[in-house]
Amino acid sequence: MRVVRTLLALIAFGASVAPVLAQSSAPAPAPPVPADVAIHGYGDRDKACLTWTDQCRSCTRAENDEVHCSNIGIACQPAEIACTARKPEPAK
């Protein structure tokens, strides 16, 4: 019986000390930018791009400059955003 009590005391002590040991004094990293913000904001960063994709969603810039994006698939893992079509350069 004494062994069981000692064992339970050690388990309780370990459970109470573990969270303190796991904490670090370094500041928490900044949260990542959500993928939705990145894909929707890509058109604002690259005004010459008409369509872009992250391999999960596709976005298109309409003639009135509105951006329309598709929904992400259930198991899709987004890749780096890439422009797939640009405005044609004016003829010189």
Q: What average pLDDT does the segment 27-42 reach?
A: 68
pTM as predicted: 0.57
* Confidence at 71, pLDDT banded by 50, 70, 90: very high
Share of the chain above pLDDT 70, in %: 65
Tokens found for residue 83: 């422009």
The domain locations on the chain are: 35-86
pLDDT of residue 70: 94
Return d(Cα 91, Cα 68) in angstroms, integer: 28
| Cβ-based neighbours of 8, under 8 Å, separated by 6 or more | none
59 pLDDT above the threshold of 90:
yes
Residue 40's pLDDT is what? 86
The whole-number pLDDT of residue 25 equals: 67
Give residue 8's pLDDT: 64
